[in-house]
Amino acid sequence: MTENGKPKLAMYWAAACGGCEISILNIHENILVVDEVFDVAFFPCIADFKTKDVIGYPDGYIDVCLFNGAIRNSENEEMAKLLRQKSKIMVAYGSCAYEGCIPALSNLTSKDATFNAVYKENPSIDNPGGVIPQTEFKVPEGILEIPVFYNTVKSLDQVVEVDYYLPGCPPEPPQIWAVLQVVVAALLEGAPLPPKGSIVGATNVAVCEECDLKKDEKKITRFYRPYEITPEPGICLLEQGLVCVGPATRGGCGALCPQVGMGCRGCYGPLDGVEDQGAKMMSAIASVIDVGDYEGNEEKYEEKVQAAIDTIPDPAGTFYRFSMAHSLLKRARVDNGNGKGETE
């Protein structure tokens, strides 16, 4: 890259699906503006850069680093630390970097169980020797190394300092563009940046606020999984028994999912002041369960509640789908029981 005085942009993926990179392209023709304003300094998805290029940059050379993906292994952590050192502004871009997202759901199990599932027990696996990845392997030319697979998936801010968080799985294009405009204005015209640690590109009201489905009193006798029913159009999905995490999720996405009949998954994370999105949602879900009157029989009543709750097959995975790494408990205890985060 030639020195042309343009601010430098980097984007890197750690434990991610690649959707965040694509979401950048979702800003459509504005991507040309991004190209005009920024010099791309590191962006493995779209251009051929090597880690050694980044190592060669002086500290703080990159103006903005959009880091997406969770910290799953030692390579992710190494890259996070390297990019932090080389970047002025570090943005946790997307839900994985912000709060662990889908990769962090494996915090409900152990490393061993994950390896077993992927390399041994998977029905489509042909691995008679039971080979699992080794961190070191001796070959005639020397020792080959691959990254260490961590037991616990972490969010970006659990390994390096993060300046801003841009939530979403992936972030929505209008929000990305709005954030990029603020950054560009700050870099080119010296406009003020939001305070460090801010959650940018999102609102501070729940998804329900943006959702125009009709909401009434919620009385749910059982929950349905999305494939089980076709929701009535125009009516709150939660009222119809579809789990919608909208009440406990930060808005900013425009309530896209509920409007097409899919309950909010919760990807924008918790609202301000909420420590644990899953607990909040759990509280909301439990309080709308209606199994009829108590009728003086505690046992029978409990059974009915239990039956309603049993229609949610995976409560932890449902309520912490995106926020496991930032949750209060952070992971399952696996040093007892069957090693799968369940006690028997």
Partner 1 sequence: MANNTEFEPLIIGFTCNWCSYRAADLAGMSRIKYPPNVRLIRLMCSGRLDPSFVLKALKGGADAVLITGCHPGECHYLEQNYKTLKRYILLKRMLEQFGVEPNRVKLVWASAAEGVQLADEITKMVEEVRDLGPLNWPAVVSPNGDHPIAETEPVVEEVQA
Q: Is 17 in the site for partner 1 (CB under 8 A)?
A: no
CB count, 10 Å around CB of 285? 24
Nearest-angstrom CA–CA distance, 228 and 224? 6
131 binds partner 1 (CB under 8 A): yes
Q: Does 332 bind partner 1 (CB under 8 A)?
A: yes
**Local structure of 67: helix, strand or coil:** strand
State residue 300 phi and psi, 5-degree precision.
Answer: -65, -40
User: Under a CB-based contact definition with an 8 Å cutoff, are residues 7 and 37 in contact?
Assistant: yes
Question: Between residues 23 and 152, which has the closer beta carbon with respect to partner 1?
Answer: 152
Q: Is residue 59 involved in binding partner 1 (CB under 8 A)?
A: no
User: 3-class DSSP state for residue 68?
Assistant: strand
Residue (202 or 248) nearer to partner 1, CB? 248
Question: Quick check: 84 binds partner 1 (CB under 8 A)?
Answer: no
Question: What's the closest the beta carbon of residue 246 comes to partner 1, in angstroms?
Answer: 18
CB atoms within 10 A of CB 129: 5
Exactly one of 91, 187, 206, 316 binds partner 1 (CB under 8 A); which one? 316
Which residues from 89-108 bind partner 1, rule CB under 8 A?
107-108
User: By CB under 8 A, what part of segment 244-303 binds partner 1?
Assistant: 274-276, 278-280, 282-283, 285-287, 289, 294, 296, 298, 301-302
Alpha helices in 204-326 (DSSP H): 207-210, 256-259, 277-287, 298-309, 315-319
Give the ranges where 38-165 is alpha helix by DSSP (H): 51-56, 74-86, 94-99, 111-115
Under rule CB under 8 A, residue 331 binds partner 1: yes
315 preceded by cis ω (within 30°)?
A: no
Tell me the site size for partner 1, rule CB under 8 A.
Answer: 64
Single out the segment in contact with partner 1 by CB under 8 A; choices: 7-15, 43-51, 174-182, 324-332: 324-332
Q: In this complex, which beta carbon is closest to partner 1, that of residue 201 or of residue 247?
A: 247
Q: How far is the CB of 228 from partner 1 (least distance, A)?
A: 20
Instruction: Give 144's strand partners.
Output: 137
Q: Which of 64, 65, 68 is nearest to 94 (CA)?
A: 68
Q: How far apart are the first and last CA of the chain?
A: 58
CA atoms within 13 A on the CB side of 278: 21
Q: What is the C-alpha to C-alpha distance for residues 223 and 214, in angstroms, rounded to an integer?
A: 19
Nearest approach in angstroms of CB 95 to partner 1 is: 16
Q: Which stretch binds partner 1 (CB under 8 A): 76-84, 86-94, 228-236, 332-340?
A: 332-340
- Is 142 a binding residue for partner 1 by CB under 8 A? The answer is no
Nearer to partner 1, 233 or 337 (CB): 337
Could you list the residues that contact partner 1 (CB under 8 A)?
107-108, 110-112, 129-136, 148-155, 158-159, 274-276, 278-280, 282-283, 285-287, 289, 294, 296, 298, 301-302, 305-306, 309, 312, 314-317, 319, 325, 327-337, 341-343
